[in-house]
Amino acid sequence: MITLGFVTLAWLALALIPARIAARKSRSAVGFYFFGLLFFVPALVTALLISDKPGSFAAIRADRYVKALSPTEAEPPTFADAPPGPLRELEKLHVFMQYGILSEGEFEQAKQRTLGQL
């Protein structure tokens, strides 16, 4: 009898997993809870694969995250307008570091070399 109680409790608790995942995607937690009670594995797969509801907080947050990680659409600056010299070289090095072409250590070495030419 105790085993049947544990199985029932585990069955009821497992149905919360797809419901929680669906709720984070602004979907019906109650609907997914009952779906998980009847068909746990398909409910879990569906909750994992379903997209965020358009216009929901989760979708907006995901869009902002993707935009923050994507590189800027602007072209890197050109240095044709700047007069030649150490300042122009330092600006180039700084932009190269910002775009990941140079590491911070390489930037510092090149900066010291450029400043040493003064």
Residue with tokens 């929901």: 56
Alpha carbon 88 to its chain centroid, in Å, reads: 35
In the predicted model, what is the mean pLDDT of residues 11-31? 86
pLDDT of residue 95: 81
Instruction: Encode pLDDT of 87-109 as tens digits.
Output: 778 888 888 888 778 888 888 88
The neighbour count for residue 55, using CB atoms within 10 Å, is 8
In the predicted model, what is the mean pLDDT of residues 17-21? 89
- Indicate the domain borders of the chain: 2-69, 74-118
Buried b (16+ CB within 10 A) or exposed e, 59-89: eeeeeeeeeeeeeeeeeeeeeeeeeeeeeeb
pLDDT of residue 57: 65
